Structure 1
Amino acid sequence: MGCRTILFGMFYYALLLLNAASFAFEILKYLISSKIDHEDIPMNLTIVNIYLALTVVTLLKDVTFTCAIFRGAYNLYKPLERTMICLFFMLAWIVIPVIYTIILFRDLGKIPLLCPKTYNDMSKILNQACMIRIISFILMWSYTGIFGLSILFEITQEYSCHRNIDHDLEYEEKEQGIPFRPLSSTSEMQTRNGSKSKNEIPINEISINGSHNRSSNVPMSKSQPSPLSRPKPTHKNIFSPPSHEPK
């Protein structure tokens, strides 16, 4: 098991636990909001419900991916589908927490984010509601930060993997005296999978007696017609007298 797999697993399960904790604290905050006066602890239920829905959808996505990994069906998802899903959730976990934070500080006004000392003297439930709000706020931004780090880690790993493949091919081609050309995305996938194109035919660079074969310098494909089967061009004799046809 490589270092990349270990780090990916650590990021993945850390995000799974953080999202489950965020969902649990949002449920507690939603339940305790009905028992307190919103003048003491302002709470915008619209953004709270939106954030709660985001945690539910993210939790369902994480559980689905976890089941697919344990069943060995994670590779059934196409790379483009996985990338689009990650980008969608990354944007959602940036936009919604930013809006949540703006609305929270606007509603709080002069009330500090941390629990005021007066709440300890007034009521125990106010102190609990304040602590739940702080923990939920910290969990929300912790998930967003770790999710962003995991995306950056995946991007840097893919970039370094591409550079390593190009470096290996450049070294091999320098040893053979062939000018290096960077791989395209299609040829890179063929290099990783060890597959060859169906239309390509292996080329023998040097014949048995040491002389170069003429066909070895030009790559031939199966779909290319043979030179013998090409139609012969017709040439008109310019020295023959013109034929006069009766009018």
Structure 2
Amino acid sequence: MPATPPVRVLRGRKPTIDADRAASERLLEVAAEGQQAVRVWTPHKQVVFGRRDARREGYERAREAADGRGFPPVERSVGGRVVAYDGAQVLAFARTEPVADFRRGTDERYERLTADVESALTDLGVEPVRGEPDDSFCPGAHSLSLEVGGSLRKVVGIAQRVTSDAALVSGILLVEATDELRGVLEAVYAALEVPFDPKSVGDVADATAVSSERVRRVLESALVGEREHVLEDLEDLEA
């Protein structure tokens, strides 16, 4: 039986939003070639819209609201509703793996990744709760929250994309949600006329003081686990 290839761990980010998004697409290519891949990074400052957002009447107003607050608007082909990155305190994470049958394994992949993110947060001294408050950003069934003052605040959202030969499970983790971040989310959701409560936005800082880089390292370690892995710096990859 051939040896299991090591997990490829991509670090860093490309100099532009478009180049960085292309680097993330590379994760699916790696999985289609038969290897798992992991990436945990700090995306550029931006607001990312999903397909459902683009079909709403207020989409152009929402894009203008984001751009006017210094958050370049971009659109993804899959995933849920709007998320925002501030370029410093909001992390993205992703893990890809090859699949033999794209119709199987969706729930299991969600469960494995959710459990690994929970483990990382626990190691950081945070007690995550599965689920999310009402009217949260990018609402979905696979979220993690913190209980603060008797109410839930969302800190992690998770989504999945599956092709014919690879699966990508990815998400967003808020280390520290600034007033600027809450403000742009509130403006964008208002323009889209989608219910949103800025008080539903939580962050790791609600529970413990920790740097974004510390969270990144712990989360990356949890997503890789005990598997053999190789590190790749995105600066060394072709643009």
* TM-score scaled by length of structure 1: 0.19
More strand by share: 2
More helix by share: 1
RCO greater where, 1 or 2, for CA within 8 Å and sep 6 or more?
2
Specify the structure having the higher radius of gyration (Cα): 1
